[in-house]
Amino acid sequence: MNKLTIMALTVATTLLLQGCGSNSKKVTTPVVPVKTTTPTNPTSPVAVHAIQPENVSKYVETFKQNQAELELQIEGVKFDISLVDIYTDDNIIAAKYKDGYLMIGFNFDKEEPVNSLTVLESDLSFEQAIANPARALDSTSIDIQEDGDNVIYSGTVTDRKTKGIFNVRLVFNESLVSGGSSTIEVAGTKATVNGDLGTNTYIQMSDLINNNPAVDTLILQQISGSVNDEINMHTGRLVRNAQLTTMVESDSAIYSGGVDLFASGAKRVYTQGAKVGVHSWCCVNGVTADKLGRDHAGHGAQLTYFREMLGAELGPEFYFFTIEAAPFDGAHEMTKAELDKYLLQP
């Protein structure tokens, strides 16, 4: 299998889960994890990880190397790019650059890049920029090639108004998607987390903990999910090891991987009105998590994580509650009684 196909499959797999309410809620399809001979607490049953703890540093370093390759060029001027969101129904990966946004064509049904690229110059939000860009450049001739782990879009784009033609080149790889779109903002003793969680979140959380010793509380505000569950569990371990409190406010809405992160708090604080949504995930050989059977190996890494966060008995009980509460393309917003039972115990 060539690198282009591998990258396409990585992106498509990462985006397989979506839906769940007014915002997209995304989680990755967990890989069937492997056992480790150096289990984390608790030691029984044997701990299971999708990314071995001793390999996290190497994983993050590889991610950073791939991320450094991401680049947009317009008439030879180079720009960094970052993820905005994924729109599977429209076959678009939306990214941001200094002067606006990119709409990158990607066919999720066929799991392959599409010869389509639109540049929107705007200082508005992405949704507003689509409707009213300061300038829009649409692809007229785009060629797609591979170079190592990268996919390269190159060719020309045309100004919708002036019909001027410009040379364009885009380099991207799976790190654009798996990095997520999270932000962490510090104010006094609190840090607020927003966006889709991914490898960038792990890096941001590590930096937060190392450089802001006064911070003792994470406010989880608007989190639609995780685009990389494998690293998201290790982000949760950073939070627990730092003994941070996780908190949702009355206007918070956290789903899927965001709930996993909420569970990592040494203390968890819920404010009435906050939305906390859970669901199943998809898939192992086309079978969703709730249909796998409770003894299936595909549950291993998540069971290990929730045992660490919630205890040997409550952790697995909560995990199976989440995957049975709603299908992978839906969401169940937890009641106060369910929160008290699973997440708000001392």
- Determine the angle formed by the axes of helices 229-241 and 199-211, rounding to 10 degrees: 10
Is the previous residue joined to 283 through a cis bond, with omega within 30 degrees of 0? yes
Tell me the longest C-alpha to C-alpha distance in the chain: 67
Q: How far apart are CA 320 and CA 312, in angstroms?
A: 13
Residue 243 pairs in a beta bridge with none
**Rounded to whole angstroms, what are the CA distances from 262 to 5, 53, 155, 316, 326?**
35, 20, 44, 16, 19
303 φ, ψ to 5°?
Answer: -65, -40
Residue 245 pairs in a beta bridge with 217, 267
Tens place of pLDDT per residue across the chain (346 aa): 344 443 444 444 444 433 333 333 343 334 334 333 333 444 468 899 999 999 999 999 999 999 999 999 999 999 999 999 999 889 999 999 999 999 999 998 888 899 999 999 999 999 999 999 999 999 999 999 999 999 999 999 999 999 999 999 999 999 999 999 999 999 999 999 999 999 999 999 999 999 999 999 999 999 999 999 999 999 999 999 999 999 999 999 999 999 999 999 999 999 999 999 999 999 999 999 999 999 999 999 999 999 999 999 999 999 999 999 999 999 999 999 999 999 997 6
254 contact partners, CB below 8 Å, separation of at least 6: 220, 221, 222, 223, 248, 261, 262, 274, 275, 276, 277
Concatenated DSSP letters of 276-302:
EEE-----BTTB-GGGS-TT-GGGHHH
H or E, element range at 68: helix 56-68
pTM value? 0.86
